[in-house]
Amino acid sequence: MKKIIIPVDFSEYSEYALKTGASLAKKHNSELIVMHMLELSESIITTSDSQKSEETAFMLMVANKKFEEFLDKPYLEGLSVTPIIKHHKVLKEVSEVSKDVKADLIVMGSRGHSDHDGVFTGSNTEKVVRYSDTPVLVVKSNPETISFKNIVLATDFSEKSVATVKSALELLNELGEKVTLLHVNLPSISFLSTDEIDEKIAKFLSLANIKKDEVNIDYIADHNVEDGVLSYAKRTNADTLSMITHGRTGLSHFFGGSISEDLVNHAKLPVITFKL
């Protein structure tokens, strides 16, 4: 893991993301690219009016000062940290920067859904996940309580998910000590018997060229995907959740197109997303 991007708005959730990124950077010898999005309109930036130009310069000066103070943290000592300020608060810019610098991971703090504006509302977190081709790690709490020892990756073992799951396993195995592929069996037309699940898993492993003894696999029955994943995590003391998204159509698992915003917004555990 060579490069990690951390979007910040100088809030306590930024601090969670920054601490988490710093911890990962120390472990994997990674560069941290810390990104702040300054909300300036195009008219202010491009205008020749001296007053507006002065306003732009002042806002940039204030942002740089805040950035300097925010990055003055003892846990960043010895790390390679590159600050970036973008003029617009456009969430897809996170994905664009990630692609430009060839980042391996984006780390975001999130408060879930909130009436308050800011980078770290649940809806904005969803936008970053939706646009990003880079895996996104969403954290909700102080990283002193975060570990990646027991990760649960939800999948339906479909053929179209093979490449994404294989790519996800590479990163998750680098981050954590144990990764479990979990299938949630739903009481609907997608319900599968135990034999059918075993057959589907065997076909998936064959397509992925993965031996059965090389990966942990389990399944659980529940009324919906989110409840199934959260229930399994509680039963097995998992410390991290992971899922596949459908990109710009929204946060979706392969489970019959089930929308998974609730898992990202309401799960207290860190969530790592991968785009199909």
Residue for token digits 């943290």? 73
pTM, two decimals, is: 0.86
d(CA 30, CA 174): 13
| CATH class for the region spanning 147-275 | alpha beta
- Residues of the chain short of pLDDT 70, as ranges, are 39-59, 88-91, 112-124, 246-262
How many CB atoms are located within 10 Å of the residue 212 CB?
10
pLDDT tens-digit map of 212-225: 889 999 999 999 88
What integer pLDDT is reported at residue 101 of this predicted model? 93
Architecture per CATH, 3-141? 3-Layer(aba) Sandwich (3.40)
Whether 147-275 and 3-141 are alike in CATH topology: the answer is yes
What integer pLDDT is reported at residue 89 of this predicted model? 61
Eight-state DSSP code of residue 49:
-
What integer pLDDT is reported at residue 114 of this predicted model? 46
What integer pLDDT is reported at residue 238 of this predicted model? 95
What integer pLDDT is reported at residue 49 of this predicted model? 61
Strands 178-185 and 31-37: unpaired
Q: Where are the domains of the chain?
A: 3-141, 147-275
Write the CB contacts of 67 (distance below 8 Å, at least 6 apart in sequence): 34, 36, 83, 85
